[in-house]
């Protein structure tokens, strides 16, 4: 999430109390899907990360990084904003659907969340989150589960972590706090160390099937083209090179994890190249516009800068790769999510 003149966001950890009793009391075993190898069962999809997979948690956090107002959500069920940084569904919803769990993934902080909703997963993601401790922090599990039945359920659930773009685009390139002290190799090392710590915590809590998305081609999102792409609004090569370097280090770290933890499946999910392919060849995927978002001018509007008063907002967001200047449209998430998973889904099992 990006603002041209925002201060670094601070967000204290949100403590997630143990879901042990919920699973033990209410769990059922439905949900096998033909999409999964070997007729595997996935009890739940649990997601951590940033605004790309936030399904509404920021509605209930004190932050300026919000989207609980029109035109966000205009193509969602009922046409109302839900706190998703999109015109409709986000990748978290499509991930839950692909794994055969449910079509809408609720936000953990939604006060209307029912105990039964936890059975098939929630999103803990928060817009503005990242791996860097200076970036608004990933909402994290803090309490372990203890009983064997719950541990088994957690070990068969799919955990997805999606973060890194805010660290690169915002914390590093848009504030003076890191760039003055780290070069890009050093900063990406810091990101990987923080990612490693978080993944170790998830494993310690019983997660065994963990998918970790790479950083996207962040230099090619509309806001970064505007801020760092020159007069022609080309892709920011420095941001993309930072993403490529981080992704290489992250992939190697996950390989190391899998060698050390034979009971786990940590799966690197490349989103950089599939998204870049859509941006470079939008017409092949049914899009007409890839260099600007649908909302307003599409060049800088995002979150509180993207409102129902924004001029020039498009009428058909499905023609645009991006909904606002930072986030993909629902149609992009719908196309991109299965592309990312297709080559890797078997590695979870």
Q: Which among 210, 209, 208, 228 has a CA at the least distance from the CA of 218? A: 228
Percent helix / strand / coil, the chain, rounded to 5 = 40, 10, 50
Calculated CA dihedral for residues 189, 129, 90, 275, nearest 10 degrees = -30
User: Does 203 qualify as catalytic in the annotation?
Assistant: no
| CA dihedral angle for residue 162, residue 165, residue 168, residue 171, rounded to 10 degrees | -90
Annotated catalytic residue within 75, 86, 327, 333: 327
What is the DSSP secondary-structure string of 250-297?
Answer: HHHHHHHHHHH-TT-EEEEE--HHHHHHHHHSGGGGT-SEEEEESSTT
Calpha distance 232→14 (Å, rounded): 42
| Catalytic-role residue among 117, 157, 324, 333 | 324
Q: Is position 167 annotated as part of the catalytic site?
A: no
Separation of alpha carbons 12 and 22, rounded Å: 25
Q: Pull the structure tokens for residue 167.
A: 């660290």
User: Beta strand pairing status for 289-293 and 320-322?
Assistant: parallel
Separation CA 303–CA 81 (nearest Å): 12
27 included as an active-site residue: no
Tokens 């803090």, located at residue: 142
**Tokens 């699973």, residue?**
23
Q: Which residue among the candidates 50, 51, 93, 132 is catalytic per the annotation?
A: 51
Tokens of 204: 């310690």
Inter-axis angle of helices 91-98 and 330-342, to 10 degrees? 40
Q: What are the DSSP E strand ranges found in the chain?
A: 45-49, 129-130, 136-137, 158-162, 209-213, 265-269, 289-293, 320-322
- Give the residue numbers marked as catalytic: 51, 324, 327
């Amino acid at each position: 999430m990006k603002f041209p003149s925002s201060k670094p966001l601070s967000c204290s950890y949100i403590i997630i109390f143990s879901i042990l009793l919920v699973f033990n009391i209410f769990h059922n075993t439905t949900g096998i899907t033909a999409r999964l190898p070997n007729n595997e069962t996935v009890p739940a999809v649990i997601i951590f990360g940033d605004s790309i997979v936030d399904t509404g948690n920021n509605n209930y956090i004190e932050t300026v990084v919000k989207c609980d107002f029109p035109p966000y959500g205009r193509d969602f069920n009922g046409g109302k904003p839900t706190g998703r940084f999109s015109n409709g569904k986000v990748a978290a919803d499509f991930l839950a659907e692909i794994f055969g769990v449910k079509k809408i993934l609720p936000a953990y902080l939604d006060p209307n969340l029912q105990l039964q909703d936890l059975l098939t997963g929630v999103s803990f993601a928060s817009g503005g989150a990242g791996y860097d401790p200076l970036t608004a922090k990933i909402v994290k599990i803090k309490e372990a589960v203890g009983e064997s039945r719950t541990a088994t359920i957690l070990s068969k659930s799919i955990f997805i972590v999606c973060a890194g773009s805010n660290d690169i685009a915002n914390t590093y390139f848009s504030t003076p706090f890191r760039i003055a002290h780290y070069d890009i190799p050093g900063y990406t090392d810091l990101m990987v160390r923080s990612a490693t710590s978080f993944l170790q915590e998830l494993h310690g809590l019983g997660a065994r099937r963990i998918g970790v998305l790479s950083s996207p081609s962040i230099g090619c999102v509309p806001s970064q083209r505007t801020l760092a792409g020159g007069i022609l609004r080309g892709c920011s090569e420095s941001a993309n090179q930072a993403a490529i370097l981080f992704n290489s280090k992250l992939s190697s770290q996950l390989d190391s994890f899998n060698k050390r933890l034979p009971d786990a499946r940590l799966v690197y999910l490349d989103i950089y190249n599939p998204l870049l392919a859509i941006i470079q060849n939008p017409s092949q995927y049914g899009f007409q516009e890839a260099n600007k978002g649908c909302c307003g001018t599409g060049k800088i509007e995002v979150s509180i800068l993207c409102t129902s008063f924004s001029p020039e907002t498009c009428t058909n967001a499905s023609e645009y790769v991006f909904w606002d200047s930072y986030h993909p449209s629902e149609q992009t998430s719908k196309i991109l999510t299965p592309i990312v998973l297709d080559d890797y889904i078997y590695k979870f099992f």
